[in-house]
Structure 1
Amino acid sequence: MTTNDPSASVRELIRQHFPSLTQAERKFANALLDNYPAAGLASITIVAGNAGVSTPTVARMVKKLGFGGYPEFHKALLRELEATGVGPTQRRANWSSAAPETHLLNRFAEAVTGNIQQTFAHVDKERFDRATAQLADADRRLYIVGGRITQALADYAFTHFQAVRPRVTHMTSSSGTWPHYVLDMAPGETLLIFDIRRYETNLLRLAEMVRRRDVRIVLFTDQWGSPVSSLADVTFNCWGEIPSGWDSSVATMMLLETMIAAVQERRWPEARDRYERLDELFDMTSLFRKFT
């Protein structure tokens, strides 16, 4: 792969180069993104035919993305597909086979620091501001949901956004209750979703349901990209590989905290008034210790 950014996924490369693509190349790119990465896993003849374009069109597009040719492009998609489906046992095997002879603390620090740098380097400021505006719009309800692992991120997001603005709903972790929430969703409202590998089918089904109701989706996912990406209005890819059987949420949490701060600033001084009223209520409950 000859691209200047070897860490970028094929999906991200398409987004970066999309403005320079021809109309026919964009047709193939959109077909691939609509069924990513499966639409690009066959031969060049088949994928071109399925997208309704010529094989030279596909060949030219993959060159523009920085690949030496279609075989290299095809291998990149296969590597992404393999990476998204591995569980903790295989993840540990992947990193341990090439682990340097340093203390685990050092390896973790290096990996997490790199994840944060990669994540923030790939955040488009316009998309960030657009998502912040959606999340700050208190005239429309904000729903928040996560999966098996990312439910903790959803809970963290809810705790903070609920203090910053009104009309925030934390959807339960039980997907059987989700249709009840969708029933009351209105066009223009926002659903904040957290979904990382191995991507959860229920979250994709939820995204499909809310899109039919013209609900806007803000997605936090990993570097490979949840299938929900194809339905989201704004997607943030957060790097998470570490020397462990699990992925890290540190970069995701840092980006989330940045967004919480941005929403707070958009809503100041309304947010300040909510903080003060919330503190008065906490004083009535004696939840926190006082040192004066």
Structure 2
Amino acid sequence: MLQSEDRGVVPTTKLVKQMIHDRMDGLTRSERQLASVLLQDYPMGGLQSITKLAGAAGVSTPTVIRMARKLGFDGFPDLQDALREEVAAQIKKPISKRDAWMVDEGAEHPLMRFAQVVWTNMRHTLERIDTKMFDKVARLLADTSRPLYVVGGRITRSNADYLFNHMQIIRPHVTMLGNSANVWPQYLLDMDERSVLVVFDIRRYETHLEKLAQIASERGATVVLFTDQWGSPIGRCADSTFNGLVEAPSSWDSTIALQLIVEALIAEVQEARWEESKERIEELEAMFSSTRLFRNQG
């Protein structure tokens, strides 16, 4: 059977970095110093020896142990075990993902089981989302003085396409980066401090996307990242990051939780630019009518 807090849904154990953020206000100054070091090189920073970690943070080893216990672990080794499990989950291959979701053959219909998992993903994603960040990103996407660039990975390309197609209707100056990374430098030429780059990248993270985001950030562009619960390495240079739960009873991850955020952003941007986007939609429909690309609706 599936192991979880709800029947048929994904586990909701928090990541170590989420535990750190949740308890930051209750940490001492030296513990916050340690937390900063852990988050700067997450999760690898926490996998070094306790003496090296303490030295890097400029704190004592008892401080490391004390903070681990404040996070809910029995000690530093348990914290490291949690970090190792996170790393293993990030690089899990599709076949391994399916094996992890072995279920009772007598369970409910697969459609309902899958829907329960996806619903739980969405619910927990929404519980963790920063609504102020959502509002800030919506304002960014609605600002036509900020050229918008969109790119996705092998699996998330469809999410990027969806965002691009709608943003292109709502506002001008929207560019979808080509499939080949070889041509990306040509897009980077036009990116500067006015530009916004939206990147989709989930586990088995793609190094060429990380390089793209890094260079765009160095050129002054604002980087918005859509990723999974573990977090793409792009998060290190992203200005805003949306984390969505992606695990599902399949060899493949589900991006529905991320898509929920995308569609909500599209709705918010259209509302913010309603008069302008209405004109664009009407003009677009007139073009469709004149070129007869679509059959007239009665």
TM-score normalised over the length of structure 1: 0.92
Asked whether the equivalents of residues 240 and 247 of structure 1 are also in contact (C-alpha less than 8 Å), the reply is yes
* Percent identity over paired residues: 46
User: How many residues end up aligned between the 2 structures?
Assistant: 287
1:116–1:100 distance in 2 versus 1, CA, 3 Å: farther
Match of 1:101 among 91, 101, 106: 106
Per the alignment, residue 262 of structure 1 pairs with 268
1:141-180 equivalent positions in 2, closer than 5 A? 141-180=147-186
Deviates more, 1:239-248 or 1:41-50: 41-50
The correspondence of residues 242-261 of structure 1 with structure 2, limited to 5 A, is 242-261=248-267
Q: Which residue of 1 aligns with 2:217?
A: 211
Q: Does structure 1 residue 273 correspond to structure 2 residue 259?
A: no
How far is 1:73 from its partner?
Answer: 1.3
**Counterpart among 60, 63, 87 of residue 57 in structure 1:** 63
Contact 1:33 1:230 in 2 (8 A): no
Q: In 1, Cα distance between the equivalents of 2:273 and 2:73?
A: 44
Q: Is the deviation greater in 55-64 or in 85-94? A: 55-64
Give the aligned partner of residue 19 of structure 2.
13
Which secondary structure does the structure 2 equivalent of 1:217 belong to? Answer: strand
Which letter maps to 2:37?
Answer: A
Q: Counterpart in 2 of 1:71?
A: 77
CA–CA separation in structure 1 for the residues paired with 2:41 and 2:267:
34
| Structure-1 separation of matches of 2:264 and 2:22 | 23
Query: Is 1:32 the counterpart of 2:51 in the alignment?
Result: no
Local SS of the residue matching 1:95: coil
Distance 1:273 1:21 in 2: 53
Q: Find the aligned partners of 1:124 and 1:246 in 2 and give their Cα distance.
A: 26
CA gap 1:164/1:15 in 2 versus in 1, 3 angstroms: farther
> Quick one: distance in 2 between partners of 1:94 and 1:123?
27
1:222 aligns with 2:231: no
Distance 2:183 2:25 in 1: 41
Aligned residue type for 2:274: W
2:47 corresponds in structure 1 to: 41
Gaps in structure 2 of 5+ consecutive residues? 1-10
CA contact (8 A) 1:148 1:173 kept: no
Measure how far apart 1:29 and its partner are: 2.2
Equivalent residue for 1:186? 192
CA contact (8 A) 1:115 1:240 kept: yes
| Alpha-carbon distance, 1:229 to partner | 1.1
Q: Distance in 2 between matches of 1:199 and 1:274?
A: 36
Distance 1:127 1:19, change over 3 A: farther
- Opposite residue 101 of structure 1, the aligned amino acid is G
SS of the aligned residue for 1:192 comes to strand
The two structures, once aligned, show a CA RMSD in angstroms of 1.8
Q: 1:287 aligns with which of 260, 271, 293?
A: 293
Q: Is the 8 A contact 2:145 2:194 kept in 1?
A: no
Q: Residues 19 and 229 (structure 1 numbering): CA distance in 2 closer, same or farther, change over 3 Å? A: farther
CA contact (8 A) 2:289 2:296 kept: no
Question: Is the Cα contact below 8 Å between 1:111 and 1:242 reproduced in 2?
Answer: yes
State how far apart, in whole Å, the 1-side matches of 2:243 and 2:105 are: 27
Question: Aligned AA for 1:165?
Answer: R
Q: Note closer, same or farther for the CA distance 1:89–1:53 as it changes in structure 2 (3 Å cut).
A: same
Say whether 1:126 aligns with 2:149.
no
